[in-house]
Chains A and B, each alone.
Chain A
Amino acid sequence: MRTLISDKDLNRPRGKAIYWTVLTLVTVLFTLAFVFPLYWMFASAVKAPAEYAAPDPTLIPESFHPEAYANAWTRLDVARYFFNTAWYALGGWLIQLVVCVLAAYALSKLRPRFGNLVLGAMLASLMLPASALLVPAYLTVVDVPLLHVNLIDTPWALWLPAAANAFNVYVLKRFFDQIPDDLLDQAAIDGAGRLRTLWSVVLPLSRPVLAVVSILAVIAMWKDFVWPLLVLQDPQKQTLSVALSRMAGIGSFVPPTELMAGLAIASVPMIVVFLIFQRQILAGLSSGGLKG
């Protein structure tokens, strides 16, 4: 593909020299800037406490104490927070998927009266910065209107707000819109009800978009910090991010290498997800960014 600089220019001797210099520089700089900090996190966790705290840090650990990871997992209770977060992410993903798929299907294929109004009201929430709603949303969770239940310290405090995801509804609806109505009518003639049609005609066709929505949902739940910080106050129920923040805080005396191991453990699922689903994540990002 033709870009700013043509292949012809790059193949000239001078162009070649400049190109290879720049390529080497970029490779080194990018690795230093973006990979090295991660290496540092994983590597410094295995250093002996004395080596870790020494004023001239070693690039390659001279002592090897992988038990910092085991200690973090058991003594710092990272295991509990890890599974807490996984449970919140999994439940949040499932609820969000069910709620948003049903809504998008209704808006796209059943086209009820006032459907566009409902969609508009949902999209309006995209305009609101999440942080401006933090305080009133917190009060809603403390005392849910009409029901008068308190959701603090329950997973529902994370799951229900996550289900109100206008971006998901919008993306799913747009995808469902492209599925021809003829296919659905065919299913109806074969005697399938609306729900049955959704399950066996629409959803199998929507695998790519379901994948993107699912991946983004899990990532968002895993990374979230401020909202879980507010609504999960019982230390036993906290997410890994909130627990790590607390352990690193003033007045908490956690061995630094174990804390570093905790950070590494918190990153592993995200790095793995990224390595597996890189294509979907980056593609979803560029299309979402362009279309708004």
Chain B
Amino acid sequence: MSVIQQERVAGRSTRPATPPLTKRRRRLGDNLLAYVFLAAALVCFGLFSWYPMVKGVVLSFQKDYLVTDPEWVGLDNYRTVLADPLFLTAWWNTLKFTGLALVFGYAVPFGIAVLLNELRHFKGYFRLVVYLPVMLPPIVTVLLWQYFYDPGAGLFNTVLSGLHLPTSAWTQDADTAMLSLVLVSTWSNLGGATIIYLAGLQGIPGELYEAAELDGANIWQRLRHVTLPQMRFLLLVMLLLQVIATMQVFIEPFQLTGTTTPSTITVMILVYRYAFAVNNDFGLAAAMSVQLFIVLGAFSAIYLRLTRDRNA
């Protein structure tokens, strides 16, 4: 942005007071042409990005069942949603999922990346396989795990009972259902974070480790005082991105436990129930979406602020 402005300012100061007609005409032509080129993008962004942003907020103050024209109802949707016993359930489950996903999934990719960065062999193979689950269509992953989780003939219980360990009903037990969802999600997503951390680790100057070693720092001290501080920014960014992604969890509960199991109804599942599965009430769904938007918007704003400061 600033570069373009500078160029313009510089260009203007050297230009004669009245630019030659041809040049001015070309400028005008370029402007016109630019908006012709931009037209398709403006229509797509307008219809599917900017308009829905406004529409989402407006809708949360309306009754809309799609069959008749929407009708203004003030804060009614918010009142109804707040009074819904599933409201607190959904938020609590979403926080639980996000929290558990952090416990299981946040440190793991970093640990894997640090480990892989030290290995001198099969680097390509490790990078390949760790990212393989990310490539699978999410529904494939979830259905595959559904089979692994099967309490009867599933692979997990077979292995556990073979090792004489206690088995579990996994997704079919309210106590372990959420944990089961978190495990699938972690397995399928950790590859992305691992690759990003690996790239970050490779950017740490080797001299830092050499200097620390000369000062007598052992491996743990080097990890603590060189690796971690150097990766601090990336760790923070990935923390925000993971929170934003996991709070929108949908496919795992949708497929593995369904939209009616109270122990795994998340915010997005509740939105889906309001709009498509139970109520067909788009106003209620919008009121729920707006809440999610505000919470996630706050995290996004912090993320943007951080990365912008860094890039500037």
Chain A residues within 8 Å of B, Cβ to Cβ? 1-6, 10, 19, 22-23, 26-27, 30-31, 33-35, 37-38, 40-41, 44, 53-57, 98-100, 102-103, 105-107, 110-113, 115-116, 118, 121-122, 125, 127-140, 142, 144-145, 160-161, 163-164, 166, 169, 194, 219, 222-223, 225-226, 230, 240-242, 244-245, 248, 250, 256, 259-260, 263, 266-267, 270-271, 273-274, 278, 281-282, 285-287, 289-292
Residue numbers in B under 8 Å from A142 (CB-CB): 66
How far does the Cβ of B24 sit from chain A's closest Cβ, in whole Å?
14
Query: Are A125's CB and B50's CB within 8 A?
Result: yes
Chain A residues with Cβ under 8 A from B129's Cβ? 30-31, 34-35
- B132 to A34, Cβ gap below 8 A? yes
Decide yes or no whether B278 CB sits under 8 A from chain A: no
User: Does more than half of chain B's interface fall in helix, strand or loop, or is it mixed?
Assistant: helix
Neighbour of B292 across the interface among A37, A41, A129, A273, CB < 8 A: A129
B225 nearest CB across to chain A (Å): 11
* Residues of the B chain whose Cβ atoms lie less than 8 Å from the Cβ of A256: 147
Given the known interface contacts A121-B45, A139-B64, A286-B195, the answer about A55 and B132 at a Cβ–Cβ threshold of 8 Å is no
Given contacts A23-B119, A140-B51, 5 further A-B contacts (CB under 8 A): A111-B34, A112-B31, A129-B300, A132-B56, A139-B66
Decide if B279 is an interface residue (CB 8 Å cutoff): no
Does B34 lie within 8 Å of A136, measured CB to CB? no
Whether the Cβ atoms of A10 and B34 lie closer than 8 Å is: no
Q: Once A and B bind, how many residue pairs between them come within 8 Å at the CB atom? A: 294
**Chain A contact residues, majority secondary structure:** helix
Given the complex, which residues of A lie within 8 Å of B226, measured CB to CB? 4
Distance in angstroms between the alpha carbons of A128 and B198 in the assembled complex: 27
Given A164-B49, A263-B143, A285-B192, A6:B213 Cβ within 8 A: yes
Q: Assuming A161-B44, A292-B311, is B135 touching A271 (CB within 8 A)?
A: yes
Q: Using A4-B114, A133-B53 as known contacts, say yes or no to A57 and B250 having CB atoms under 8 A apart.
A: no
Q: A245 contacts which chain B residues (CB < 8 A)?
A: 139, 143, 254-255
CB-defined contacts of B138 to chain A, threshold 8 Å: 223, 225, 241
Contacts of A292 in B (CB 8 A): 237, 303-304, 307, 311
Contact of A110 (CB < 8 Å), options: B1, B34, B223, B300: B34
B110-133 with Cβ < 8 A to chain A: 114-122, 125-133
Cβ contact of A30, chosen from B126, B213, B282, cutoff 8 A: B126
B250's partner among A111, A164, A226 (CB-CB below 8 A) is A226
Does B307 contact A38, Cβ atoms closer than 8 Å? Answer: no
Residues of chain B contacted by A166 (CB below 8 angstroms): 45, 49
Cβ contact within 8 Å between B34 and A106: yes
Interface contact A286-B289, CB-CB below 8 Å: no
CA A224 to CA B277, docked complex, whole Å: 20
